[in-house]
Structure 1
Amino acid sequence: MACRCLVAVLLTWLGGSTPLTAAQAPRFKVDDAPLPATAQPSFSFSPIVEKVAPSVVNIYSTKTVRQLPMWGPFMEDPFFRRFFGIPDALPRERRERSLGSGVIVTEDGYILTANHVVEGADEIRVALADGKTEYEAKIVGTDPRTDVAVIKVDARDLPAITIADSDKLRVGDVVLAIGNPFGVGQTVTMGIVSAKSRAGLGLDYEDFIQTDAPINPGNSGGALVDIAGRLVGINTAIISRSGGNLGIGFAVPSNLARYVMERLIEDGKVTRGYLGVYIQPVTPELAREFKLKDLSGALVADVIENSPAADAGLKAGDVILEFDGRKVQNDRHLRLMAAQTRPGSEVRIRILRDGREQTLRVKLGEMPEEGGLARAGRPGGLRRGPQADPLDGVVVDDLTPRNRQMYGIPSHIRGALVVEVAPDSPAGQQGLRPGDVILEINRRRVTNADDAVRESEANRQSTVLLRVWSQGASRYIVIDATRRR
């Protein structure tokens, strides 16, 4: 399972700083040139380490943890304590200390680290690589949704690292991980980029660099650098059964970390671009139904009313192929690109609609606290006859005030309510559930149960394309009568 270095990521926000003007914003050292592909192998990385190591710091954080007595929370009541003869002066709090790493990104003391290193801390101290200099630090801002945090020390002329363009990093590039594993002191390990764009560690925005450079508890927040000595990632997590390195480590790419850092420093919070669509990945079944050449792109399952996407003319069933001139690899990639675009920006979106490509212009809004550009809801249904077909075993009914209340279906949703799905039916095995609302069958609108029955009877294929509303969102699903689990 995925193990966070030091502690698990906690979903609380620690506030932000007073926004800065453009003139006050710190200047970062940035070098976005790609590494030469024909570079000769080196027998020593010591020049790189000597250049970069002073920029990596040790972070010691302390927080107060409230601790209930072992006999249970009812002893919080003074009456019970007196009844059992337990004194009021009970130890209720304890101090918890953690260890991590960070990277100096400006000469005047801004430090980039992982959110879980400083989350909830009452006191943070930063020790430089020289082993002599130590500062008290304050939290500028944190972003649990990416596990990135920025802290600040009151100092000048610090050794700031140069930041690289992580999009130009390639699988197979040599990288060095620098941090303070297990508190033994600053340590350098070497490996390669094992993969890019990894996800699945439980954060809202994930685009991890995977590396086999040894990363252990204490490395969190430390630097992942290329052989030019430039920051390409912030080490944040490992996959391990033992808690130690097994050769699968993850780092937040420098481009993502830099965007979050700049927003925290300049705006006091992280603002993200908002498109206003529910999207889902393109599966092989959906690719066949929508006549797509491959599985790239993001399928629009629904468009939120009065959103930037709705204003631009996006529709359910569109496949977004490009965002602001960049190819969309999948739904998660689109979500990341939109989130890393400043609200108010106007971007071009190339879509595929009914087999034809077209380009739309969208002016992004600001992502609300919840919702926005997100995956469609979980897969959420028609019995229409004895013959075997994709919707055999499904029973539908009209939407009524009573069943809307029962299933929590909003008043603006129109369609056929799925009230029964045989567990062994193709639809049941492939994701349709009671409480789902069928909105379309083979891209034809369904407004009630009779519509659904009529459209299902008109289908003569072994597959059927449904658009369903389920658990607060819409998505497409292909039911294939020939596929059994």
Structure 2
Amino acid sequence: MSLDRRSFKVGIIAGVFLVTGVAVGIVFSSRLGWLPSAVSSPTEGAATTAPALSGPTPPNFVPIVKAVMPAVVNISTRRTVRSQGGDVPSQFQDDPFFRQFFGEEFFHRFQMPRERRESSLGSGVIVDSAGYIVTNNHVVAKADEIKVLLNDKREFSGKVVGTDPKSDIAIVKINARDLPVIPWGDSDKLDVGEYVLAIGNPFGLNQTVTQGIVSAVGRANVGIADYEDFIQTDAAINPGNSGGALVNARGQLVGINTAIFSRSGGYMGIGFAVPSNMTRSVMDSLIKTGKVVRGWLGVSIQEVTPDLAKQFGMKEARGALVNEAILDSPAAAAGIQSGDIITAFNGKAVDSPSTLRNSVAQTVVGKSVKVEVLREKKSMTVDVKISEQPKDIAQSEGETAQGDGKDTALAGVEARNLTPDIARQLGLPPGTMGVVIAGVEQGSAAEEAGLQEGDVIMQINHQPVRNIGDFKRLSGKLSKKDSSLLLINRQGRKLFLALRP
């Protein structure tokens, strides 16, 4: 009996401890928030209200995208590329044993041209309901076949109306009517920080929209095209976006997406678009005349550096310094002189040589404009009547030429235009004028005089060399007996070289 009583007492004590532990646990759990509180719990059946967002409401781009998306198209191209067959190693080609063993036909097959079909994808923007589409030149260049896929899945064959490699713009026409279009915007009014949308077909993913801001405007010397005035944006642009639309927050076309800066081949936050104003000017010229007619002022210019600005009495480095007003040019007729600094053109401030160059090129031929110049620390305005860019200048950009004449001083010299990209690679300052040496024939007079690849010819016999046109014209005047005095720029250092025939 004593054992049973003792067990009964132990059981009662254990039960008391258990009940007490549970009670204490509940109290601590409620204080620590492990159990729902009756006070904070919503009434049964009542809806839970999300906390209100503070700050401005994010912009809603849905209506804009719905309005402009139908005017952005997919462009696919095909072209035939002819190439030589796989080359047989030279040690086998010259070995009579291999030729006897395999036969001449075997070696002939390796040397026969082979054809292959290449295809590419890009984007385009319908800018006229009659079927005119703007895209990039590099999207349709050398294409044998162009297919245009619309937003409503209709497909058309495209025909190139005209191309302008210097601005990387091309116009394609399809046989269709009453097409949706995107209204033009004024790219000159774009502000840095403004919202923009990039619409295109990256990697073949049709009708893709990305959003960003305008990172910068007036980007030049990028090395993408001859005429550069790019809009820089951080809206994602990838392969296939080329030729697509850059649209502002009002649904207006402000640019044509053209290129990206990338070390990986993909998007890295820096994209470039050709401004709508430049695009529209090129488009109108291509449709009306089949070519791009650009205005011409007729000056050789360079950048105003901080040191030059001090010398000319300017508070800041801006404008375009005139090295020379070409004879019989609009600038010379208006009285513009060497040493003048052009600060404004047709009411628009000139920040750099590229700004002036683009403004002049887009000016209607025959139009009289006011040009503000700084001369001897005094500001003045002159009236200039813009003429058409001469053919020798327009055609010479991007050409490669050799010195004329077999026995002249410049025989065996191969030169090409000095582009901003080449100038940067050579370490030359922006605005450097001349032609860069691409090759010097061994044993030529130029090689004996010390002319090297990468040298930039700035003068021939005291005459300025601005482009290949000047180089061809001046070298063509040399006879077999004429010596030639060259002023060259070698890695930023100027020196004279005397060449004997």
- Using structure 2 for the length normalisation, give the TM-score: 0.67
Contact 2:160 2:173 in 1 (8 A): yes
Q: Partner of 2:251 in structure 1?
A: 229
Distance change >3 Å, CA 204–CA 436, structure 1 → 2: farther
Distance change >3 Å, CA 192–CA 420, structure 1 → 2: closer
Counterpart-to-counterpart distance in 2, 1:152 and 1:263: 15
* SS at structure 2 position matched to 1:196: strand
* SS at structure 2 position matched to 1:103: strand
Distance change >3 Å, CA 41–CA 435, structure 1 → 2: farther
Contact 1:278 1:376 in 2 (8 A): no
Q: Confirm or deny that 1:268 pairs with 2:290.
A: yes
What code does the residue aligned with 1:99 have? L
* SS at structure 1 position matched to 2:287: helix
Q: Could you list the per-position Cα deviations for residues 135-186 of structure 1 after superposition, in whole angstroms to 9, with x for gaps in the alignment?
A: 0010000111011110000000000110100111111111111000001222
Q: Partner of 1:139 in structure 2?
A: 160
* SS at structure 2 position matched to 1:371: helix
Deviation at 1:85, TM superposition (A): 2.8
Q: Partner of 2:79 in structure 1?
A: 63
What code does the residue aligned with 2:356 have? L
Q: Could you list the per-position Cα deviations for residues 247-273 of structure 1 after superposition, in whole angstroms to 9, with x for gaps in the alignment?
A: 111110101111101110011100111
Counterpart-to-counterpart distance in 2, 1:419 and 1:147: 34
1:316-335 correspondence runs (5 A): 316-335=338-357
Counterpart-to-counterpart distance in 1, 2:146 and 2:224: 26
* SS at structure 1 position matched to 2:84: coil
What code does the residue aligned with 1:266 have? K
Distance change >3 Å, CA 72–CA 137, structure 1 → 2: farther
What code does the residue aligned with 2:77 have? S
Q: Percent identity?
A: 52
Q: By percentage of residues, which structure has more helix?
A: 2
Deviation at 1:72, TM superposition (A): 6.3
* SS at structure 2 position matched to 1:188: strand
* SS at structure 1 position matched to 2:323: strand
Distance change >3 Å, CA 107–CA 117, structure 1 → 2: same
Counterpart-to-counterpart distance in 2, 1:359 and 1:149: 37
Deviation at 1:196, TM superposition (A): 0.7
Q: Partner of 1:362 in structure 2?
A: 384
Deviation at 1:364, TM superposition (A): 1.2
* SS at structure 2 position matched to 1:135: strand
Match of 1:169 among 175, 181, 190: 190
Deviation at 1:73, TM superposition (A): 11
What code does the residue aligned with 2:494 have? R
Counterpart-to-counterpart distance in 2, 1:91 and 1:313: 57
* SS at structure 2 position matched to 1:112: strand
Q: Partner of 2:335 in structure 1?
A: 313
Contact 2:433 2:458 in 1 (8 A): no
1:337-348 correspondence runs (5 A): 337-348=359-370
Q: Partner of 1:284 in structure 2?
A: 306
Q: Confirm or deny that 1:205 pairs with 2:227.
A: yes
Deviation at 1:291, TM superposition (A): 1.1
1:13-412 correspondence runs (5 A): 41-71=57-87, 83-86=104-107, 92-130=114-152, 132-199=153-220, 200-371=222-393, 375-377=431-433, 409-411=459-461
Contact 1:418 1:433 in 2 (8 A): no
RMSD: 3.3
Deviation at 1:412, TM superposition (A): 5.9
What code does the residue aligned with 1:194 have? S
Distance change >3 Å, CA 408–CA 173, structure 1 → 2: closer
Q: Partner of 2:494 in structure 1?
A: 433
Specify which structure has the bigger relative contact order, considering alpha-carbon pairs within 8 angstroms and separated by 6 or more residues: 1
Counterpart-to-counterpart distance in 2, 1:420 and 1:94: 46
Deviation at 1:49, TM superposition (A): 0.7
Q: Could you list the per-position Cα deviations for residues 116-135 of structure 1 after superposition, in whole angstroms to 9, with x for gaps in the alignment?
A: 100110110100012x2000
Q: Partner of 2:39 in structure 1?
A: none
Counterpart-to-counterpart distance in 2, 1:308 and 1:356: 22
What code does the residue aligned with 2:75 have? I
Distance change >3 Å, CA 82–CA 354, structure 1 → 2: farther
Counterpart-to-counterpart distance in 1, 2:486 and 2:106: 58
Deviation at 1:293, TM superposition (A): 2.1
Deviation at 1:87, TM superposition (A): 6.1
What code does the residue aligned with 1:133 have? R
Contact 2:188 2:277 in 1 (8 A): yes
Deviation at 1:369, TM superposition (A): 3.8
What code does the residue aligned with 2:187 have? S
Deviation at 1:44, TM superposition (A): 2.9
Counterpart-to-counterpart distance in 2, 1:376 and 1:303: 16
Distance change >3 Å, CA 345–CA 115, structure 1 → 2: same
Distance change >3 Å, CA 418–CA 367, structure 1 → 2: closer
Counterpart-to-counterpart distance in 1, 2:89 and 2:297: 46
Counterpart-to-counterpart distance in 2, 1:410 and 1:43: 59
* SS at structure 2 position matched to 1:105: strand
Q: What stretches of structure 2 of length at least 5 have no aligned partner?
A: 1-55, 93-98, 398-418, 420-430, 437-447, 465-483
Q: Could you list the per-position Cα deviations for residues 180-238 of structure 1 after superposition, in whole angstroms to 9, with x for gaps in the alignment?
A: 00012221111111111112133111011111111100000000101111111000000
Counterpart-to-counterpart distance in 2, 1:409 and 1:213: 44
Counterpart-to-counterpart distance in 2, 1:230 and 1:409: 47
Contact 1:418 1:434 in 2 (8 A): no
> Relative to structure 2, which stretch is displaced further, 323-332 or 144-153?
323-332
How many residues are matched? 364
* SS at structure 2 position matched to 1:228: coil
Q: What stretches of structure 1 of length at least 5 have no aligned partner?
A: 1-39, 381-401, 422-426, 438-485
Contact 1:301 1:376 in 2 (8 A): no
Distance change >3 Å, CA 348–CA 376, structure 1 → 2: farther
Q: Could you list the per-position Cα deviations for residues 23-74 of structure 1 after superposition, in whole angstroms to 9, with x for gaps in the alignment?
A: xxxxxxxxxxxxxxxxx75453111111000000000111111121111699
Q: Could you list the per-position Cα deviations for residues 273-332 of structure 1 after superposition, in whole angstroms to 9, with x for gaps in the alignment?
A: 111111001001111111112111110011211111111111100001111111111111
